[in-house]
């Protein structure tokens, strides 16, 4: 990982069952049901991003054991979240 501070990405950012106030960061058009860290790691690998899996949970959903990702990327956090969301949605629709 680079010397820059890593971006923390939680699966809750992409869960369409959550409201924006509950932690969803992408529009419903890019959201899916119950996103998994494993799905996000596959997408990050194809994007060529350096990442680490963490056991840390989303602060608003601390009782859930979903984990998170620490990502070093050349994108801003907003750009990265939208790229992940749109690719995740396409993957889910093709399966």
Burial classification of residue 88, based on how many CB atoms lie within 10 Å of its CB (0-12 exposed, 13-18 middle, 19 or more buried): buried
- With 80 as the cut, is the pLDDT of residue 3 above it? no
pLDDT at 1: 55
Report the C-alpha gap between 64 and 83 in whole angstroms: 24
Report the C-alpha gap between 4 and 63 in whole angstroms: 29
- With 80 as the cut, is the pLDDT of residue 95 above it? no
Specify the pTM: 0.89
- Angle 21-62-93 (CA atoms, 0-180°, nearest 5)? 65
Identify the residue whose tokens are 């998994």: 36
pLDDT at 75: 87
Tell me the pLDDT tens digit for each residue of 23-80.
999 999 999 999 999 999 999 999 999 999 999 888 887 777 779 999 998 889 999 9
Pair of tokens at residue 7: 């971006």
pLDDT at 58: 85
H/E element holding 79? Answer: helix 77-94
């Amino acid at each position: 990982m680079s010397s820059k501070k890593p971006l923390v990405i939680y699966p809750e950012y992409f869960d369409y069952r959550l409201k924006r106030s509950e932690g969803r960061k992408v529009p419903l058009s890019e959201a899916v049901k119950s996103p998994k860290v494993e799905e996000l790691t596959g997408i990050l690998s194809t994007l060529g991003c350096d990442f680490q899996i963490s056991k840390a949970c989303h602060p608003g959903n601390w009782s859930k054991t979903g984990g998170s990702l620490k990502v070093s990327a050349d994108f801003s956090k907003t750009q990265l979240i939208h790229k992940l969301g749109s690719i995740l949605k396409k993957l889910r629709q093709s399966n």
